[in-house]
A = this chain, B = another copy of it.
Amino acid sequence: MDASVGARLRMVRERQNLSQRELARRAGVTNATISLIESDRTNPSVGSLKRVLDGIPMGLAEFFALEMPEEGAERVFFPAAELVEIGRGKISYRQVGTDMTRRALQILHERYAPGTDSGKVLLSHEGEEGGVIISGRMEVTVGEQRRILGPGDAYLFDSRIPHRFRNVGDEDCVVVSACTPPSL
């Protein structure tokens, strides 16, 4: 509860996948300021810290109320606000956690616009993947099998089997998917 301001800021910034410079640009401060604060080489004024947090955005109360994870403890919970949206337009997804290099499992909260197609060339790669349709309708092709899935339906298969996804409905299709090892 009384971790340093620097450690807190670094944590929230990295959870948002922002670089020091990008955060500095959004906040209207210099990247040096971010660096100095995060390394506890300076003791920021409340005003400047607030400006920095406005670039997240996050309030001061929320910032200081943040529970810092144990040193070396593995991150387990991911508030919705931290599932940053990566794509835009036809496909967008929100990844659960960052730093996929160290993990064996990747989980995405995806949204497919109507007509989206993962491609005529069927995908094939190592690992396994699966998912659950939350809303909308999705045509899933895996090997010789083809099915249209709706809310509550799910899939799970060996990724080496050629596969393809198409949103054949007329509304967005939301899916929670998982794959191992992380692709992308």
Contact = CB atoms under 8 A, between A and B. Distances in A.
Interface stretch (A19-27, A57-65, A78-86): A57-65
Interface in A1-23: 1, 5
Interface of A: 1, 5, 43-49, 59-61, 63-65
Q: What is the copy number of this chain in the assembly?
A: 2
Nearest to A2: B59
A60 B49 CA distance: 13
Contact of A59 (B44, B47, B48, B64): B64
B49 A1 contact: no
Contacts of A45: 43-46
A5 B46 CA distance: 8
A148 to B, nearest CB: 47
A61 B66 CA distance: 9
A11 B19 CA distance: 38
Nearest to A49: B46
